[in-house]
Structure 1
Amino acid sequence: MFWFKNVMIYRLTTELVLDSQTLEAQLQQTKFSPCQQSDMSKFGWSSPLPTSELLHFSQGKQFLLLSHKEDKLLPAQVVKKETENRIATLEQKEQRALKKTEKQAIKDDVIATLLPRAFSKHQFTPIWLDLDRQVVYVDAGSAKRAEDTLALLRKTLNSLPVVPLSFNLSPSEIMTNWVAKGHTPSWLTLLEEAELKSFETDSVIRCKRQDLESEEITQHLQAGKFITKLAMEWESHFTFVLNEDATLSRIKFADEVREKNDDILKEDIAQRFDADFLLLTEELRLFTQKLTDEFGGIKERI
């Protein structure tokens, strides 16, 4: 089961309606296939459930997908050195300087020669479609990685009108207020990590193992700095870092959450996956609602 480690939330601006049969047929059109000898990269959908050939997992109007990207790793320095050696050898042999197009052709040939021996890097990105609430969750640590997966889904469905979830109140201002007053909502606990930024000077201060109620932090806030990242714990559910754009990173679910379904036999992979997915979605859905309330509701974009 993919316990999300990061969360980027998007809101559908037009209602999306899916059924399992149609979705599966669409996903099969962009199914992941491994790199062949001449491929630098491949991107498509893989099965989220290891024991299933289906490219999606669903519970009612909840759909879990898994994008799969394979990149061949060719160190730029290796390609550059081999290309330069071949160019030098040919120029010496023919007693002339090679044209730009000839040098590019040699570089392309070097890459084609090295590709079959290159190692592969595989990247998996889970994406959860909550169509009850018309919200999309992507487990990605960067906007680019999330956008790549959303672009693949957009290609698969032919349309995917989404915008990043934003709130009426600024997360940075709210977090700054929490730390400045030493008071957070009752369901949240401050941890000892934060990032403070000055929007006037672009200076950044990163704190770890730091008492956020200390005089030092207070002075930075009084000098006009804002909290842009804040490590917190949601009761006994999970720890996380809340970012100024309302995304979550470094989520770590508590053992008591992850162990709730330990009564299900490990051999019953499908049943455990189903139970864990239900648990994950309940946790993140409740957290999103609580966060929305703290930040003044969802901001409707015009």
Structure 2
Amino acid sequence: MSNFYFNQISIYLINTNNLPNLETIDEKLAKAQFQPCTGLEWSSIGFTNPVEFTSDMVFPAQNTIRIALKKEEKVLPSTVINDLLEEKINLIREVEGRKVGRKEKQQLKDTITDDLLPRAFTKSNNTDAIIDTKRDYLLINQATTSRAEIVLTKLREALGGVEAKLPRTKQSPGSLMTEWLLRGDAAGHFELDCDCELVGLGDNAPVVRIKHHDLTAEEITKLLHSGKVVTQLGLSWNDRVRFVLTDNFTLKRIQFLDIIQEEASGQADDDQSLAYASQILMAEALGELLDELVSYLGGWVLN
């Protein structure tokens, strides 16, 4: 599957009316552009071009704007540091005939770390996001809220403020998922898939993970009647998208089915037009999916 498609999302409601125009967003993100780690830096983070075929910091497609945040981290295994530290300590014992105290040991460790850091390997990753100006959604390709928040924080810093918040619905996703699983059927364009996670009550609540199984089976219903609630539920939507919905309203393990990818490929004759078509179709599918899902959750809580 092309990397034009997201495989997980955290959802934010964003006031797109107060965003700068596209040219200004591009300029401001360029000022917060990613720079590689310097010698003694452990990590570096900044915005990067979201598609390979342009140096622009934004990639617009109809009512969507794609951006990307890049993070680079130094990789310095603790075993390497500890082995060198042990060698230093042993050398001091042999040559000077004394023990190394806690404070000196920490100083030696810091010195070794500073010496190794400029030569350490680095690893990097990009987190993409799409601003949907039609629906006022900010969709971040990250299901871990703390990591998604980093993207939003950096966007706020770069643009001088962004009105965005995590969504709340009148009915909780966990309650709706439990309701659907109890009756053995979802609603509207949604269908039960084959994976779910159930959690019991109490401080040491048991967790039951079910994969590749008929979710209407009697043993699952018995688990629900015993007091367990659904925290993750595999669903498909409109024969276009498969995903796992979580009780904190993120989508994981998203798969855009062949029909969407074939539609995008049919509208494209190069990488740029494929990215353009894929972005529009992906955002529209996710937008319609979320709109319908929110309708079953009673709508947004706006205050």
TM-score by length of 1: 0.92
- How many angstroms apart in 1 are the aligned matches of 2:143 and 2:108? 37
Q: Once the 2 structures are TM-superposed, how far is the Cα of residue 89 of structure 1 from its aligned partner?
A: 2.0
Aligned to 1:242: 245
Q: Once the 2 structures are TM-superposed, how far is the Cα of residue 214 of structure 1 from its aligned partner?
A: 1.6
Q: Give the secondary structure class of the aligned counterpart of 1:259.
A: helix
Matches within 5 A, 1:38-187: 38-59=40-61, 61-187=63-189
Aligned to 1:295: 297
Q: Residues 158-196 of structure 1: CA distance to partner in whole angstroms, max 9, x if unpaired?
A: 223322112100111111111111121131111121100
- How many angstroms apart in 1 are the aligned matches of 2:284 and 2:16? 23
Q: Which runs of 5+ in 2 are unaligned?
A: none
Q: Once the 2 structures are TM-superposed, how far is the Cα of residue 101 of structure 1 from its aligned partner?
A: 4.5
Q: Give the secondary structure class of the aligned counterpart of 2:170.
A: coil
Residues 22/164 of structure 1: CA separation in 2 closer, same or farther (3 Å cut): same
- How many angstroms apart in 2 are the aligned matches of 1:100 and 1:156? 43
Q: Please provide the CA RMSD for this pair.
A: 2.0
Equivalent pair of 1:48/1:65 in contact (CA under 8 Å): yes
Residues 135/272 of structure 1: CA separation in 2 closer, same or farther (3 Å cut): same
Q: Residues 215-271 of structure 1: CA distance to partner in whole angstroms, max 9, x if unpaired?
A: 2111111111111100111121111000011110000110121121223555x2222
Indicate the larger mover: 255-264 or 284-293: 255-264
Equivalent pair of 1:13/1:163 in contact (CA under 8 Å): no
TM-score by length of 2: 0.92
Give identity over the alignment, percent. Answer: 29
Matches within 5 A, 1:190-229: 190-200=192-202, 201-229=204-232
Equivalent pair of 1:17/1:131 in contact (CA under 8 Å): no
- How many angstroms apart in 1 are the aligned matches of 2:132 and 2:268? 28
Indicate the larger mover: 6-15 or 278-287: 6-15
Indicate the larger mover: 210-219 or 88-97: 88-97
2:284 corresponds to which of 271, 276, 282: 282
Equivalent pair of 1:2/1:126 in contact (CA under 8 Å): no
Q: Which runs of 5+ in 1 are unaligned?
A: none
- How many angstroms apart in 2 are the aligned matches of 1:186 and 1:161? 32
1:252 corresponds to which of 255, 267, 274: 255
